[in-house]
Amino acid sequence: MIRSFIYFILLLAFCQNAVGQVNFTKSNLPIIIIKTNGAQIQDEPKIMAEMHIINNGPGLENKITDTPNDYNGKIGIELRGSTSQWFPKKPYGFETWDDIGEDNDIKLLGMPKESDWTLNATYNDKSLIRDGLSYILAGSIMEYAPRVRYNELILNGQYQGIYLLIEKIKRDKNRVDIAKIETTDILGDALTGGYILKFDKETGSNSGQGWYSLYTPYPGACKILIFNMSIQKQTRYLQSKKSI
């Protein structure tokens, strides 16, 4: 299965033309069409937009003129990432919304219901393999890794290329299945329960906070990791774990 997946992606990457030079009308991949109705997508906050997904199933052709059959509704969309926002091919984060802008848990491309999703542009990976294959392999050996689906994206009538639709990592029974930790959880099993640690740049309101890890993000990196937690006793508990 993995070998077939690699052959498929290599063929896909070899045949793909540069963004903006394609008269795109159909694909064997699902097609995601997003319309912002004149509004500009920004880094925050999310703006309301329309999203239509055409997915006729494995082995069947999808055309941009087909009736949306996987999703046809509202989303809240924003740019995601930091340095990657400067790339010509932008990464996006979005939530599926109802008509008044409230979260609406929906199945997308066969993945379990949720409202939070990301569209990974894979701009630096010209093979289009590394992220998708890594998630798929991780999911086959770990209790959970984000599920992914390759797709082709059209934004406001302009073909953007091949993207990865990825589940956003969050606490959820179908994603990271851990209990919610409250500010009052400072003793016993409640304190030592599951945590999600986010590795991110120290910018904005997070500057100057957190604590320093014993390890760099990767061998040879010039920066160290900084962790931030708002509840002091929970922070001290995590700091006591020498593995981070």
Does 53 lie in the same domain as 105? Answer: yes
Question: Average pLDDT, stretch 31-43?
Answer: 97
Shared domain for 204 and 143, answered yes or no, is no
Of 167, 201, 229, the one marking the end of a domain is 167
End-to-end CA distance of the chain: 35
Per residue in 210-244, pLDDT (tens digit) is 556 666 666 766 655 555 554 545 566 555 654 54
Confidence (pLDDT) at 96: 98
> What DSSP assignment string belongs to the chain?
-HHHHHHHHHHHHHHPPPTTS----EESS-EEEEE-TTPPP-SSS-EEEEEEEE---TT--EETTSPP-SEEEEEEEEE--SGGGGSSS--EEEEEE-TTS-B--EEETTEEEESEEEEE--TT-TTS-HHHHHHHHHHHHSS----EEEEEEEETTEEEEEEEEEEPP-B-TTSB--PPPPTT--SHHHHTS----------GGGTT-SEE-SS-SSTT-SS--EE--SSHHHHHHHHT-TT-
As a whole number, the mean pLDDT across the chain is 83
How does pLDDT run across 104-142, given as a tens digit for each residue?
Answer: 999 999 999 999 999 999 999 989 999 999 999 999 999
Amino acid at 155: L
Q: Is residue 177 in some structural domain?
A: no
- Do 145 and 232 belong together in one domain? no
Confidence at residue 173, expressed as pLDDT on a 0 to 100 scale: 93
Q: Check pLDDT > 50 for residue 68.
A: yes
Shared domain check, 147 and 54: yes
Structural domain span for residue 95: 2-167
The pLDDT of residue 17:
44
Average pLDDT over residues 156-177: 95
Residues 84 and 133 in one domain: yes
Give me the amino acid identity at 150.
Y
Query: What per-residue confidence (pLDDT) applies to 82?
Result: 80
| 139-153 residue pLDDT tens | 999 999 999 999 999
Ramachandran assignment for 122, one of left (phi > 0), alpha (psi -120 to 50 degrees), beta (any other): left
- Asked whether residue 89 falls in the same domain as residue 148, the answer is yes
Share of the chain above pLDDT 70, in %: 73
Question: Is there a single domain that holds both residue 65 and residue 115?
Answer: yes
pTM over 0.75: yes
- How confident is the model over 178-195, as a mean pLDDT? 79
